[in-house]
Amino acid sequence: SAASFKEVRVEIEQVVQEAVKRFWSYGFRGADLIVACYGPAVGVFGKYERVEKADGTLVAIPELLDLAKRAARDAIAGEFRGDSLSTLYYVWANLYGASEQAWDDARLVVQIGGEAENAMEVARGHGIFVVNGSKCRLALLADRASRRGLGVDGDPPLIDSLHRAMLLWKEEKRKELVSYLSERNLLEDGPFWKLAQALFEVLPRNVEDWKLVSTLLSERPTLVAESRGMEGRKGLFDTR
């Protein structure tokens, strides 16, 4: 029998979401968790002779597997939705924290978390990971703080913006922090704060990054108030 791609997509997303919860409770983590989710997804489209798009085009197996990959990533990422590099950063933090992992496992997770085929090259080039021989781990603020233009070049990924904010707080540059968040419209509730909240929940409590994220989250109302105060003072000197 034939099935519509739209219906199968919804079914795969539901099945994979349930599979992530189930296998997580069994103790599956990292690459093992993701691979385990493929089985239930394959079971969905294995029920049908063919899957068709609205225009009658047949959907190939690689496209369905790609859908399963994205569904697994979204299920692990939970409430957070952002650019692919920031989503990858969060998914990795959720799976592994700050611990070192085998390079091969890393490649699989990156293929899941990244949209592009060269996702690992993109992630490495952007300083998302610290590679040490056959092992790699998530790059924390201390690893990324010296990157040129972190969070200020062009349209940066949210993780770069968050690391920039964390760095400004750490360096006690409060005024610069308020200006940075205000100018980039990051003080309003949105993906930036969802990423901060997500990392607060999954980063190990003994790393500096967790403490900085925790402080930023608790200081947010004050930062918003300070930003409004700065805008008010600007208005006093507005001659237009």
Residue 127 belongs to some domain of the structure: no
CA distance 85 to 126: 9
End of a domain among 24, 52, 77? 77
Average pLDDT rounded to a whole number, residues 56-66 = 87
Query: In this structure, are 223 and 148 located in the same domain?
Result: yes
6-26 per-position pLDDT tens digit: 999 999 999 998 998 888 888
Residue 128 belongs to a domain: no
Which domain, by its residues, includes 147? Answer: 142-235
Tokens 């108030």 sit at which residue? 225
Q: Is residue 156 predicted with pLDDT exceeding 80?
A: yes
Is there a single domain that holds both residue 231 and residue 146?
Answer: yes
Last residue of a domain, one of 39, 58, 77: 77
Predicted local distance difference test score (pLDDT) of residue 119: 61
Residue 110 lies in a domain: no
Mean pLDDT of 143-161: 93
Residue 83 resides in a domain? no
Check whether residue 69 and residue 149 sit in a common domain: no
pLDDT computed for residue 207 by the predictor? 93
In this structure, is residue 112 part of a structural domain? no
Lowest mean pLDDT among 97-111, 142-156, 204-218, 219-233: 97-111
What tokens were used for 233?
């003072």
For 87-136, how does the pLDDT look when each residue is reduced to its tens digit (9 = 90+)? Answer: 888 888 888 888 998 887 777 777 665 555 566 677 778 899 898 888 98
**1 belongs to a structural domain:** yes
Measure Cα distances from 99 to 83, 106, 184, 224 in Å.
Answer: 23, 12, 32, 34
Number of folded domains in the chain? 2
CA distance linking residue 83 with residue 122, whole number of Å: 13
Mean pLDDT of the chain: 86
CA dihedral over 24, 212, 120, 130, signed as positive or negative: negative
Residue 102 forms part of a structural domain? no
Domain contains 118: no
pLDDT at 236: 47
Last residue of a domain, one of 77, 103, 118: 77
